[in-house]
Amino acid sequence: MTLKNKKRIKRLLLICGILLVLLNLLVYLHAYKFTHFSTKKIQRTGKPGDLTFLTKLSVLIFGVSNPKPKSDTLPDRPFEKIKITARGNPKIDCWLVNVEKPKGTVILFHGYASSKSALLEESKVLTNLKYNTLLVDFYGHGESDGNQTSRGYHEALDVLAAYNYVNQSGEKGVIILFGTSMGAVAVLKAVSQYQLKPDALILECPFSSLLKTVKNRFRIMNLPSFPFAELLVFWGSAQNNFWGFNHNSVTYPKQIDIPTLLNYGLKDNCVDPGEIESIFNQLRGYKEQKFFETCGHESY
């Protein structure tokens, strides 16, 4: 090999190294924006499938715009505002809506980049059925402390705290955990990891794994996911102190023998039917599936 060729190879390796560093820096910033909400007044990036080409290009370069979700809409009936300690010291904000002679309490957990205000219609239905409802803002969301999210991993600790609050309150009746999307994943992880014993679970459109849901975002935008999805999960894990590649909703149900209703909208473009089927098949106890033909990744 000539000296000239050696210099060319060194130059090529240097360029590849610089590009690799720049790629990881770019993905690191994307992962940060994906898992940290901004406290500034900014406009939130729309759903992946609704973005224009120019907006997609902007997202690829600068990352998503994620203002911290707010719980702006209040219940239309009397409620009590509660702060529950979770994760050692941080406080999660909750609304407790009581009814006369309740059958029990349903604890409701929202999805990613949402808040407890998104669950008001569900709360209304459940209170009409004579259940107390506890609507929870996950850490980093709504009026709770912080601005971070781990897409259901650390949120399992918030599920644990809310469950213990209701379980230790002395109220008679059943306890049901209701989770949608990320909230459903957090419920699955909490029940599995902390051996919670609610009387039933209601789960809506949980994703099968963190890596899968990140890949789905690229699919919806008609962009290749490899290696960007893997890098996003890696750097998001490093920034938020967990290993996202093990955040798998198909493994959690293997430890769960609690009666479970699993709901899914057949027009959901964020979670595919195979993910729902995999989760359903792993549940050990009594279980039912309900499909909604006209619904997507939304409230049923």
Contacts 24+ apart (CB under 8 A), 210-219: 210/151, 210/152, 210/153, 210/244, 210/245, 210/247, 210/248, 211/244, 211/245, 212/275, 213/151, 213/270, 213/271, 216/269, 216/270, 216/271, 216/272, 217/48, 217/270
| 172 contact partners, CB below 8 Å, separation of at least 6 | 104
Predicted local confidence at residue 48, as pLDDT? 66
Residue range 183-193, pLDDT digits in tens: 999 999 999 99
Top pLDDT among 230 and 223 is at: 230
Residue 184 maps to a domain: yes
DSSP single-letter state for residue 182: H
How do residues 110-153 score in pLDDT, each as one tens digit?
A: 999 999 999 999 999 999 999 999 999 999 999 999 999 999 99
Residue 71's pLDDT band, with cuts at 50, 70 and 90, is very high
Expressed as residue numbers, the domain containing 177 is: 80-209+247-292
When pLDDT is cut at 50, 70 and 90, the band that residue 166 belongs to is very high
DSSP code for 36: B
Give the Cα separation of 54 and 40 in Å (integer): 23
Sheet holding 200-204, edge to edge: 80-85, 91-97, 131-136, 104-109, 174-180, 200-204, 260-265, 287-292
pLDDT at 60: 63
Q: Is residue 136 part of a domain?
A: yes
- Confidence band of 232 (pLDDT split at 50, 70, 90): very high
Please, which pLDDT band fits residue 88 given cuts at 50, 70 and 90?
confident
Please indicate, yes or no, whether the overall pTM of this predicted structure exceeds 0.75.
yes
Q: Any idea what the CATH number is for the domain that residue 169 is in?
A: 3.40.50.1820
What average pLDDT does this structure show over 2-27? Answer: 87
* Total number of domains constituting the chain: 1
Model confidence at 53: pLDDT above 70: no
Please indicate, yes or no, if residue 131 is contained in any of the structural domains.
Answer: yes
In a domain, 43, yes or no: no
Interaxial angle between packed helices 155-167 and 182-194, expressed in degrees from 0 to 180 and rounded to the nearest 10: 70
